[in-house]
Amino acid sequence: MSGLIRVEPVALLPTQAGCAVFLGDGQKVIVFYIDPSIGASINAVLSGAKAPRPLSHDLFNQAIEAFGAQINRVVIVRREDDVFFARLFMTAENEVMERKIVELDARPSDCIALAVRSEAPIYVLDDVWNDVEDMSSILEDLRTQQNGPQGFGV
């Protein structure tokens, strides 16, 4: 997709203020901070853990599927100071309605939690990507200091 950089979660690390989410494209890594409970929700899926009962993101994902919809992609569309904004794109089609594309404003953390559950791609707009500092060396330093985690670790 033109104008978009595809990214993957490369690390989730606990911080004093919550959880740091590192997203990367293989050449650059960016970071933003989220609530620890959402970090734990993302980490559970990425590590293959199964909750005994559905978590909030599991429930929302099940509701989406029950209505004949699917998550197509997540796009981080803007940054204001240290706050990121995202859009969740879904397609809905069922016996009641024709195919409909739905775009919702959402927090990047919630979008990522849903994207990893549905294996939907995550993108960052070029302008946002280019405006954010590369945090690859910081991530490596953190991994070295903690003598681990090489991937996920909430």
In this prediction, residue 124 carries a pLDDT of 98
How many angstroms separate the CA atoms of 90 and 147, rounded?
Answer: 39
In this prediction, residue 86 carries a pLDDT of 98
pLDDT reading at 65 higher than 60: yes
Q: Which CATH superfamily is domain 4-145 in?
A: Bifunctional nuclease domain (3.10.690.10)
How many angstroms separate the CA atoms of 148 and 79, rounded?
Answer: 30
pLDDT reading at 5 higher than 90: yes
- Domain borders along the chain are 4-145
pLDDT digits (tens, 9 = 90+) for 107-125: 999 999 999 999 999 999 9
How many angstroms separate the CA atoms of 22 and 45, rounded?
Answer: 16
Q: How deeply is 45 buried, as exposed, middle or buried, from its count of CB atoms within 10 A (0-12, 13-18, 19+)?
A: buried
